Amino acid sequence: MGLSGRPRSGLDVLARSGLLEVAIVLLTGTHCRTLDDKKRLTLPKKVREMLGEPTALYMAPGLDRCLWVHTEAELERLAARLDERPATDTEARLFRRLYFGQTELVELDKAGRILIPERLAQGAGLGHEVVLLGVRDHLEIWDAAHWEDYRALHEPRFDAVAQAAFETRGSQARV
């Protein structure tokens, strides 16, 4: 069974047994979207295809006042990384409680929409206009005005941030 309590597919079982190598999802792009009155977000067809046409996703509070959206496989990878930390690690324990305790399973309807739980929408300050970002292994949902402020503040530092992100213990990696 997966995290959702649903039976795993045959591919999931093969992948977990090491008999099949599954590609990690690579999510990219910026998509301006509008929430309807029920706080439903339509995922673009291109994004649904990148995700492998899921029937459900996991949504949780993210960093910098956005929402993170993961596939079950990516959420399990995140959980496995945290499982490498000892139960006595205060920060890891706190993150587990705050993150997984607020994570919601959200199902996609036939129109490719997900319902954003009110508690999560309020926590992220989501208005009517939102931005959906592909951030490698997960999606982020930002309030559109908050995203523009964040981007405007940090984009001028992109070169320096990129250099710092690729530095490895005293040496510089090539980008």
Task: Please give the pLDDT value at position 169.
Answer: 58
Q: How much is the average pLDDT of 96-120?
A: 97
Instruction: Look at residue 172 in the predicted model and tell me its pLDDT.
Output: 55
Could you give the residue ranges of the DSSP H alpha helices within 84-143? 90-100, 118-123
In this structure, is residue 66 part of a structural domain? Answer: yes
Q: Supply the DSSP string of 47-76, one letter for each residue.
A: HHHHTTS-SEEEEEE-TTS-EEEE-HHHHH
Query: Average of pLDDT values for 61-70?
Result: 98
Residue 1 covered by a domain: no
pLDDT of residue 7: 45
Backbone dihedral angles phi then psi of residue 16, each to the nearest 5 degrees: -70, -25
In a domain, 50, yes or no: yes
pLDDT at 120: 98
CATH number for position 56: 3.40.1550.20
Residue 170 has what pLDDT? Answer: 57
So what's the pLDDT on residue 13?
42
Residue 4 belongs to some domain of the structure: no
- Give pTM, 2 decimals: 0.82
Sequence-distant (≥ 6) Cβ neighbours of residue 27 within 8 angstroms = 47, 50, 51, 134, 135, 136, 137, 138, 139
Q: How many domains, in total, are found in the chain?
A: 1
Residue environment code for 133-146, b if the CB has 16+ CB neighbours within 10 A, otherwise e: bbeebbbbbbbbeb
Predicted confidence band at 139 (pLDDT cuts at 50, 70, 90)?
Answer: very high
What dihedral do alpha carbons 39, 45, 47, 53 form, nearest 10°?
Answer: 100
- The H-or-E segment that residue 167 falls in is strand 167-168
Quickly count: other Cβ atoms within 10 Å of residue 96's Cβ: 16
Look at residues 67, 158, 43 and name the one whose alpha carbon lies nearest to residue 117. 67
Query: Is 59 within 8 Å of 117 (Cβ atoms)?
Result: yes
Residue 86 reports pLDDT greater than 70 = yes
- 160 in a domain, yes or no? no
Instruction: Give the pLDDT confidence score for residue 17 in this predicted structure.
Output: 45
pLDDT at 143 over 70: yes
- Give the model confidence (pLDDT) of 13-46 as tens digits: 434 444 444 456 789 999 999 999 999 999 999 9
Per-residue pLDDT of 43-56, as tens digits, reads 999 999 999 999 99
pLDDT at position 110 over 70 = yes
**Domain range enclosing 137:** 25-154
Reported confidence tier of residue 173, pLDDT bands at 50, 70, 90: low
Alpha helices in 10-157 (DSSP H): 10-17, 45-50, 72-83, 90-100, 118-123, 144-154
